[in-house]
Chain A
């Protein structure tokens, strides 16, 4: 069991407050991320779960500075390791991205450049951020490949991505991400494209690297099972908002938000032999039918009249829940 993250203020690695990402469209403005506030301590593993379109990837892309036109980003605070990312220059951001803050993506086959060898792509990071020369970078690349469990690493250096399997490509991506010993690793659906036996290997590898390097990790997944394997705390997103954050074990045993509860009940793993699965009626709100009150109210089994007004966020330490009537009580309204 991983130790609880220290509550020391200096150990606070990441602080996001009221992050908004909008995409203007013909039908109106799409609020992809709507008021996301999160904190992450050094060495902590946070899972973010949500269905497609819930804004989990977009939020992390915003943090990495990877959003481009027409996305519009605002936040009241975006601090990483003592640096203000909101007002950082492009050069300052480049120095952080890929070095102190690294990301791995869902599809390993298409996130590697097919025209360059593994060694080339790995050394690029090493030469840029650590100033290594070509020979040192190549040697270090071999060490990194060995670290991520690629057998016969030296001979794989000159392989092109198409010569490697999906699992191997993801290991290369991970090697690239940990090349500069980042303080924060963002893994966006790192195992979704992989088979279940390979997925287990990659999750094990990520957990082991996280422990040995002591880095913080944000694991994004639509799969509650995957998140529950690795994360210490879990954030649940719905329609661009974080609806609940809780310690992982507690979240799965006693969810506070009705959406989390409904999502867990809809999982076949949780059906426990019941003939029919529980479902969530209706659909995630779109641009046109976004409710003015609580976003989940139209689909919520516990909704009352009060739910037609925006849901308040209750906070207590590292936990939060955005609901008028949480299923389990939490500290006072923030």
Chain B
């Protein structure tokens, strides 16, 4: 919202790719599963990039790579201009401090046997030389920042509701003052009213601390609310990428269009839908289509789409991987 200030690029990902080898027994060569293929983006301080897509599209793998929890098989990743892939030892732990994660399930991501204070102090114990009283003061400060009382530190996770636990998980992610927070479906497990509280909290923290967010979600309503930029993934590939308003208001990729059309709108009468629904389901990532990965479900696919994979190219202010997009955009 503040275009005058040149925003500082926090993370720059170039052609990130991840291929898993899936063992198929002793005598057969392992199958290769391309979870993520050639994804590039950059996020500036105070900005949110949302990655959307259906299950199995590679969005969580992408999140793990950016959070340095999983080494990409190809590509480059720079934090504040410094290459971090292949970093070892101190360089890696310094890089890791700058990126923290918030997970989907606040019930599974907090150790039930540790007090909240212990959970929040752990990152400081490992990464800093602060003395215990200083650590405790920081924990108290952070708890208040995420809207919890300082006494919370004495309690155990089971004493808190889902929304409160997600606040604790966010507090833990912020203990080391990261520049980038990777949030993998942070509100998917929460009820609507609680979800709104957590989204507000994430936005307040971003404003106050200048955080960059990589926000993974399947919920387009949430993404539309929180994102600045959107990256739409399908079967490991980027389909469309660009400014949120552009992508949501005038989607050009047939997959983005289908995704938006499939999202139930509120209060629309139960009449037959004007738009054609996507047929079929996502193909297996072990045997992706030879051409465009979306061709098997695309209503506009031509023979070229089935043979040749489209490259990501600029069109009307965003990036899009589609042979037919220019033609479709031109025809009303």
Contacts and interface: CB of A to CB of B under 8 A. Distances in A.
Interface of A: 1-2, 45, 51-52, 165, 167-168, 195-201, 203-204, 207, 222-226, 228-232, 248-249, 252-253, 262-264, 266-271, 275-280, 283
Nearest to B271: A1
9 contacts: A2-B270, A168-B281, A196-B263, A249-B267, A262-B193, A267-B266, A268-B195, A269-B224, A269-B266
A199 B195 CA distance: 21
A226 B220 CA distance: 14
Nearest to A266: B196
Given A197-B278, A200-B278, A276 B203 contact: yes
Given A266-B193, A267-B192, A268-B222, A277 B267 contact: no
B48 to A, nearest CB: 13
B264 A229 contact: yes
A135 B65 CA distance: 53
B196 A201 contact: no
A268 B224 contact: yes
B277 interface: yes
A222 B270 contact: no
B264 A228 contact: yes
Contact of A253 (B54, B193, B225, B267): B267
Contact of A229 (B54, B197, B200, B270): B270
B325 interface: no
B195 to A, nearest CB: 7
A200 B220 CA distance: 14
Contact of A196 (B191, B197, B259): B259
B199 interface: yes
B253 to A, nearest CB: 14
B200 A276 contact: yes
Contacts of B219: 268
Contact of B264 (A2, A165, A203, A264): A203
Contacts of B193: 51, 262-263, 266, 279-280
Contacts of A228: 264-268, 270
B203 A222 contact: no
Contact of B268 (A2, A52, A200, A229): A229
B262 A197 contact: yes
A150 to B, nearest CB: 11
Most chain B Cβ neighbours within 10 Å, of A197, A222, A223, A230: A197
Contact of B218 (A1, A196, A207, A283): A196
Interface residues of B, number: 40
Contacts of A225: 221, 263-266
A253 B196 CA distance: 20
Contact of A204 (B191, B224, B263, B277): B277
Q: Is the interface of A mostly helix, strand, loop or mixed?
A: helix
B312 interface: no
A269 B260 CA distance: 12
B150 interface: no
A269 B221 contact: yes
A277 B191 contact: no
Contacts of B191: 51-52, 222
B203 A275 contact: yes
A271 B266 contact: no
Contact of B196 (A203, A229, A279): A279
Top 9 nearest A-B pairs (CB, nearest first) are A225-B264, A252-B267, A268-B225, A195-B54, A200-B262, A277-B196, A51-B191, A266-B196, A280-B193
B259 A197 contact: yes
Interface in B131-186: 161, 163
A249 B264 contact: no
A248 B271 CA distance: 13
Given A165-B281, A277-B200, A224 B222 contact: no
B277 A51 contact: no
A252 B269 CA distance: 11
A330 B282 CA distance: 47
A200 B94 CA distance: 45
Contacts of B55: 195
Nearest to A195: B54
Given A196-B262, A229-B270, A279 B197 contact: yes
B273 interface: yes
B258 interface: yes
Contacts of A224: 192, 266
Nearest to A191: B264
B264 A222 contact: no
A248 B196 CA distance: 23
B37 to A, nearest CB: 20
Given A200-B277, A266-B193, A267-B221, A207 B270 contact: yes
B267 A248 contact: yes
B239 to A, nearest CB: 13
A232 B263 contact: no
Contacts of A1: 269-271
Contact of A222 (B161, B192, B266): B192
Contacts of A232: 270
B301 to A, nearest CB: 16
B270 A266 contact: no
A279 to B, nearest CB: 5
Contacts of A263: 192-193
Contacts of A283: 161, 163
A197 B276 CA distance: 11
